[in-house]
Amino acid sequence: MHASKRDFLVAAAAAAILGLGACASDGPQRSTGEFTDDAATTAKVKTAIATDAGAKTAAAVNVDTYRGVVQLTGFVDSDDQASRAVSAAKKVQGVRSVRNDIRIKK
């Protein structure tokens, strides 16, 4: 490998590592277990929404979980779809609370 190409790759790797370090927040960090639990909860909520409210609603709703608090975002066609998604999320084991930020399309 040529020295200039190697130097470029080393510089690119260093920039990537420094960039990832900048992503760290000053707030409380989740443990690996909490992160895994939140990921599992997100998957369960997404499945529950697909089952209870339909695949179209599940595709339109984004689910994020942080320490058991589920946030639902996205755009759906009706109030019924939104309320069914919220109801489905609340039934999932491990969900502490649900923040509903789903919007209705006009």
Structure tokens at 81: 């779809």
Q: Domain for residue 100, yes or no?
A: yes
Q: Domain for residue 89, yes or no?
A: yes
Mean pLDDT for 73-101 is 97
Q: Domain for residue 78, yes or no?
A: yes
* Contacts for 89 with CB less than 8 Å, ≥ 6 apart: 45, 48, 49, 63, 70, 72, 95, 98
Q: Domain for residue 2, yes or no?
A: no
Q: Domain for residue 8, yes or no?
A: no
Angle at 26 between CA 24 and CA 30, to 5 degrees: 70
Domain count, the chain: 1
| CATH number of residue 79's parent domain | 3.30.1340.30
At residue 57, φ and ψ (nearest 5 deg) are -65, -45
Angle at 59 between CA 56 and CA 63, to 5 degrees: 135
The reported pLDDT for the residue numbered 87 is: 97
Residue 40 domain boundaries: 27-104
Please indicate, yes or no, whether the overall pTM of this predicted structure exceeds 0.75: no
Q: Domain for residue 4, yes or no?
A: no
What's the pLDDT tens digit per position in 57-86? 999 999 999 999 999 999 999 999 999 999
Q: Domain for residue 12, yes or no?
A: no
